[in-house]
Amino acid sequence: MNKKDILSKYNGFIFDPDYVIDEEHVLFAYIHMKKAFEKKKNIANNPKIELLVRLSGETQISKAMELGIKDTMRRIGVLVPEEEGISTIKGDIKKIQKFFGTTNKKEIFEKIAVMDIF
């Protein structure tokens, strides 16, 4: 399935799960994305892009897009807020370390949380 097919098939927030430490990381980013729009502190105009910004802890949209989907991906992460239940997510530790500079969940969450300060 190519990127266009994936985007048309899934109605939700789509991301590369290899860059996500666990499901709590996605929920934390989602909450911060919602708060950013409520406080008008969002970086992106599109909530789907803003979720990638919050997942990445980066203020540069181009950097955050690294967590978006690519045609070569074998699996995708989809967050559909209206759905109940959650699947387990386990990212690629090497990709997480390279992107965030750490695999420590607390440090990743701190990076996301301080985005509202600047």
Reported as a single tens digit per residue, the pLDDT across 18-58 is 999 999 999 999 999 999 999 999 999 999 999 999 999 99
- Sequence ranges of the domains in the chain: 3-113
pLDDT at residue 102 above 70? yes
Query: What distance in Å separates the CA atoms of residue 9 and residue 27, rounded to the nearest whole number?
Result: 22
* Structure token pair of residue 85: 């239940």
* Greatest distance between any 2 Cα atoms in the chain: 39
CATH fit for domain 3-113, picks 3.40.50.1980, 3.30.420.40, 3.30.2380.10, 3.10.580.10? 3.30.2380.10
Residue 5's pLDDT band (boundaries 50, 70, 90)?
A: low
* Residue corresponding to tokens 């090497």: 94
Q: Average pLDDT, stretch 92-110?
A: 93
Write the DSSP assignment of 12-40 as a string of letters. Answer: SEEE-GGG-S-HHHHHHHHHHHHHHHHTT
pTM of the model: 0.77
